[in-house]
Amino acid sequence: MTRNPSVEPPRVGNTLAELRQLRALSLDELSRLAGVSKSMLSQIERNQANPTVAVVWRLANALGVPLGQLLDGERPALPSITTVAGHATPSLRSPDGKCELRILGPIELAGQFEWYELTVQPGGRLESEAHEPGSREHLTLLGDGSLQVRSGTDVSTLQANETARYVVDVPHSISNPTSAVVHALMVVVHAA
């Protein structure tokens, strides 16, 4: 049998990543469901490894799609409504543990347009390094309390239900000078 060197094996990485994200599954969760190691899944998604048919079959079963959808690289049909469970919403904590950012935006928009639910404990401070030139944040304080916003050398105090819009291509911070827990929504718009 003559082998055609110009024919590449199917690349399932992009389709796998999209299907996993549509189902709001972490690499760990898909690893457990499919019985495939997390490191192997990561390599497949980055097109650094070509999985065996048995691995693709396990992944297809875990994701509830036909084997051909992964092998053919078919783009998954987007549902008209996608719901993400509260426990599946990732979050980040500040080094002092007093600030929590729940990541509300989809991963595919990271680095372009991001939105978060921010909870700041009394005395909490969220420090950030400069983002790319032209980037801005929009912070809306939900309910009572206040937050202090610093952008470069400028400082402003945000009161209940107000929105601050500020540049973040300089070091910036958000802090809670009150004795109450404060909640806010934060949108980050990265420069193009």
Summarize pLDDT for 19-69 with one digit per residue, the tens: 888 887 888 888 888 899 988 898 888 888 888 888 888 888 888 888 777
What residue spans in the chain does CATH classification 2.60.120.10 cover? 89-189
As a whole number of angstroms, the distance between CA 91 and CA 117 comes to: 9
User: pLDDT (tens digit, 9 = 90+) per residue, 76-91?
Assistant: 566 677 777 888 788 8
Domain 13-71 has what CATH class?
Answer: mainly alpha
Tell me the residue type at 14: N
As a whole number of angstroms, the distance between CA 49 and CA 13 comes to: 9
The answer as to CATH 2.60.120.10 being correct for domain 89-189 is yes
Please tell me the predicted confidence (pLDDT) of residue 142: 96
